[in-house]
Amino acid sequence: MNVLGTHILLELRDCDPRLLDDLGHIRAELFRAAVAVDAQVVGESFHQFSPQGVTGILSIAESHISIHTWPELGYAAADIFTCGEQTMPDRAAAAIVAALRCRDPEITQIRRGPDGARVVELQTAHILN
């Protein structure tokens, strides 16, 4: 199969609501996640919503890392899409889960490329430990 990259979707439940509404914290932690996978950041976009919620995206040479938060639900949806041989997106996933003090993450891993998108079965606990 012609796979170019791995896309991880994180459903982050039971996070610390204060951290979900803290743009500075989220920006710092997304950069930290990028470092965790040796990604090269080539662009960024962060936005604070009113009355609450943050959107953050890092463009990386290997694709992107994004997050959208709902502090009122203790929930965030994050994506880590990395291409190339050297990247290990699970490291970025673990970093984001820890950064938001998330106690109930769900991970969906998808292989992407010209042959299509394929969901890979995995154990969330295995990725994060």
Does 63 qualify as catalytic in the annotation? yes
The burial of 107, by beta-carbon neighbours within 10 Å (0-12 exposed, 13-18 middle, 19 or more buried), is given as buried
Q: How far is 2 from 54, CA to CA, in rounded Å?
A: 35
Q: Which two tokens stand for residue 88?
A: 């290990």
Of 36 and 78, which has the nearer Cβ to a copy of itself? 78
Stretch of 8-16, 20-28, 30-38, 87-95 lying at the interface with a copy of itself (CB under 8 A) = 8-16
DSSP state of 18: H
Q: Which of 28, 35, 73, 122 binds a copy of itself (CB under 8 A)?
A: 73
Tell whether residue 16 is a contact of a copy of itself (CB under 8 A). Answer: no
Evaluate whether 81 touches 33 at the Cβ level (below 8 Å): no
Q: Cβ of residue 109: shortest distance to a copy of itself, in angstroms?
A: 10
The CA distances from residue 22 to 45, 70, 100, 107, in Å, are 15, 11, 10, 23
Does 83 qualify as catalytic in the annotation? yes
Does 50 qualify as catalytic in the annotation? no
Stretch of 22-30, 31-39, 86-94, 114-122 lying at the interface with a copy of itself (CB under 8 A) = 114-122
Q: How far is 50 from 41, CA to CA, in rounded Å?
A: 27
Stretch of 6-14, 16-24, 31-39, 95-103 lying at the interface with a copy of itself (CB under 8 A) = 6-14
Question: How many residues sit close enough to a copy of itself to count as binding (CB under 8 A)?
Answer: 37
Catalytic residues: 63, 68, 83
